[in-house]
Structure 1
Amino acid sequence: MSSPRRQAASCPAPGAPRVTREVRTLPVVAAGAVAVPFAIQAYDEIVAHDTTWGEHSHPFHELLWNERGASMAVVGARVWTITPALGLWMPAGTLHSGSAIAGTWFRASFFGFHTTPSISDTPVAVEITPLLRLLLERLGDAPLAPASRTITEAMVLDVLEPSPRELLVHTPTSALLRPIADALRADPGDQRTLANWSAQLGVSARTISRAFSAETGTSFARWVASVRAQHAVALLTRGREVEAVAEEVGYRSASAFGAAFRRTTGLTPAAFRAL
């Protein structure tokens, strides 16, 4: 795989120190278009700066997960947050972009398109269980004897499966819902209810609720919870205190925030922050 082209972009915020964002460019390659000499190959990196990957695709399947920190993958209007507990399976040939917060230690496992059937035709979350983590780390350790590698790869494929739990936000794009989406993503602590938005937009709450279900596949309340969880992951990765994060993303108490965060990510805020 060729090395990505990189360029640095400055992203200063008012009153904040200058922050450098690294932008990387990778090619668009069709599924199976390039022969690869592996069944499963491991890659990992600690990003020194906030980093963005432009839209690209791979000839092989990819499992993305983190040893530490948070990253995102974007496919169309769908945005997944990747954590140490929740990874993402990206089928070969899927056009996607991504980003990672400075200090994130991300890992990727590449699966040969011609040797490994995809666990899903579309991107899907994968729970990074202790067993799966150990197996993937073993493949990335010192060179294994061929027989040991074959056995370990078979065990990875045996335990690898989609997870019903995922940190996914499907961004609505209709003229009706776009103001709500823009407001909540800009300020996840926004406390406006369906009734408030109904009055502001001049449509019934039922109309908004139906539109959310049709466009995102989930309810307004669940969508808001997912937006808040994604924002909280980014803040915790940057070292913010749990109580401050809870307040910023709109929870009345750290305990309520903790329960919601654990339901979504599989970790308590404190446990995630300690990674």
Structure 2
Amino acid sequence: MVRRDVLAGARDRVFDNRRLPSYEAGEIAVPFVVWGTEKVIARDTFWEEHSHPTHELLWNERGASSATIGPRVWTITSTVGLWIPAGVRHCGWTPAGTWHRAAQFGVHAVPSIADRPVAVEVTPLLRLLLGRLDGEELRADERARTEAMVLDLIAPARNEILLRIPESPLLAPIVSAVLEDPADTTTLAAWAARLGVSGRTVTRAFRAETGLGFSRWVATARVRHAITLLAHGEDIEEVAACVGYHSVSAFGTAFRRITGTSPGRFRVR
């Protein structure tokens, strides 16, 4: 199920497959409080399931990527990152051209901001401070002050871009169709007829597994795909059509409802 989502639409493309080890929280002692890395990803990359001995904060300077934990898929951008507690197994998908950033936080010095993965608002100030930790030779007292400011600024985002992937065999055809082609316009009634059940049955199944009705789940899947296209500079009108909207205004309404911002403002960011 995990690979079906993160690799949807990538079957005919060549991509890198990265394997990383899995550690329990604190299994390896680290000498740092915060340690950052960055890399521009040259090719589409799938990161196989792994876990870190440290807490991890993921975000991007450019582009959009995703991280999958169980049936939940978070979209990661330049303004919405993801906090993953130490020891939590996850996999990921990073499209080519993404400027990927990560910061590791030692469990000996930093309590997790939550006992589960949580979206984090990556503000300009937080980004600046994390960059200072990565790129400058700091005195011990300067580094300690910067780290303290970083920890004060990390907070859950008001809007997280999260898609829960249903695992029910009943919903599998719908999930596969939408993930492969977000522009698929098959209605709830048409899917119900195709599956030989009532529309109410499909709706109940979606709500039970994802907390969303059919229409909201499809809209969220479409917006996730749209974010990747917008992050690569695609025209808003073209993106709207690519994800199944017949007008830019309808696309904008759905985008704002799910992300809290407009497509145009997202592109500027």
Residue 183 of structure 2 corresponds to 189
Residue 4 of structure 1 corresponds to none
What is the alpha-carbon distance in structure 1 between the residues aligned to residue 174 and residue 11 of structure 2?
A: 26
Please give the root-mean-square deviation of Cα atoms over the aligned residues, in Å: 1.8
Q: TM-score, normalised by structure 1?
A: 0.88
Uncovered stretches (5+) of structure 2, i.e. residues with no partner = 1-9
Q: Kindly tell me: are residues 164 and 176 of structure 1, through their superposed partners in 2, closer, same or farther at Cα, counting changes over 3 Å?
A: farther
Residue 209 of structure 2 corresponds to 215
Q: Which amino acid aligns with 1:241?
A: D
8 A contact 1:85–1:265 mirrored in 2: no
CA positional deviation for 1:110: 0.6
State which of 85, 88, 105 in structure 1 corresponds to 2:82: 88
Q: Please, which moves more after superposition, 262-271 or 129-138?
A: 262-271
Q: Please, which moves more after superposition, 61-70 or 220-229?
A: 220-229
CA positional deviation for 1:274: 5.3
Uncovered stretches (5+) of structure 1, i.e. residues with no partner = 1-10, 14-18
What is the alpha-carbon distance in structure 1 between the residues aligned to residue 231 and residue 178 of structure 2?
A: 20
Question: Structure 2 matches for 1:120-199, cutoff 5 A?
Answer: 120-199=114-193
What is the alpha-carbon distance in structure 1 between the residues aligned to residue 171 and residue 120 of structure 2?
A: 29
CA positional deviation for 1:184: 1.1
4+ runs of 1 displaced by more than 6 Å?
A: none
How far does the alpha carbon of each residue in 1:196-216 deviate from its partner, in whole angstroms, 9 at most, with x for none?
A: 222222222222111111111
Q: How many residues align?
A: 260
CA positional deviation for 1:273: 4.1
Residue 255 of structure 2 corresponds to 261
Q: Which amino acid aligns with 1:142?
A: E
Q: Which amino acid aligns with 2:155?
A: E
What is the alpha-carbon distance in structure 1 between the residues aligned to residue 66 and residue 231 of structure 2?
A: 13
1:79 lines up with 2:76 in the alignment: no
CA positional deviation for 1:149: 1.3
CA positional deviation for 1:46: 0.5
Residue 98 of structure 2 corresponds to 104
What is the alpha-carbon distance in structure 1 between the residues aligned to residue 20 and residue 231 of structure 2?
A: 26
8 A contact 1:71–1:83 mirrored in 2: yes
8 A contact 1:85–1:267 mirrored in 2: no
CA positional deviation for 1:234: 2.3
What is the alpha-carbon distance in structure 2 between the residues aligned to residue 189 and residue 151 of structure 1?
A: 48
Residue 42 of structure 1 corresponds to 36
Q: Which amino acid aligns with 2:146?
A: T
Report the 3-state secondary structure (helix = DSSP H, G, I; strand = E; otherwise coil) of the residue aligned with 1:243. helix
Work out the percentage of aligned pairs sharing the same amino acid.
Answer: 55
CA positional deviation for 1:266: 4.6
